[in-house]
């Protein structure tokens, strides 16, 4: 993965209180996603086109419908 300096940004919905948030950085062909509380941790890379589709779906209300199932994880 390209190791050039990146500009990481958080969601405009992030309250800055250190809650559950991700940071993103955009490269030429990929979107990079990481846990904002663990900046030196793992990074997920997805194709730019997939990231755009994901963001557009959220902007149009995907994930807010009753048909979506919330997954609970045991810790």
* Strand blocks (E) in the chain: 9-10, 22-26, 30-35, 44-47
Residue 47 lies in a domain: yes
Print the domain residue range for 24.
9-59
Number of domains in the chain: 1
Distance in angstroms (rounded) separating the CA atoms of residues 12 and 46? 20
pLDDT digits (tens, 9 = 90+) for 28-66: 889 999 988 888 999 999 999 998 888 888 787 766 555
pTM exceeding 0.75: no
Q: Is residue 66 part of a domain?
A: no
Closest CA to 2 of 24, 41, 28: 28
- DSSP alpha helices (H): ranges in the chain? 48-59
Q: How is residue 19 annotated by DSSP?
A: -
In whole angstroms, give the CA distance from residue 68 to residue 62.
Answer: 9
């Amino acid at each position: 993965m390209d190791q050039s300096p990146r500009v990481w940004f958080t969601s405009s919905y992030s309250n800055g209180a250190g809650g559950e948030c991700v940071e993103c950085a955009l490269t030429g062909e990929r979107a990079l996603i990481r846990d904002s509380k663990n900046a030196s941790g793992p990074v997920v890379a997805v194709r730019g086109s997939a990231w755009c589709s994901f963001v557009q779906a959220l902007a149009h209300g995907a994930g807010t419908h009753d048909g979506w199932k919330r997954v609970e994880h045991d810790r």
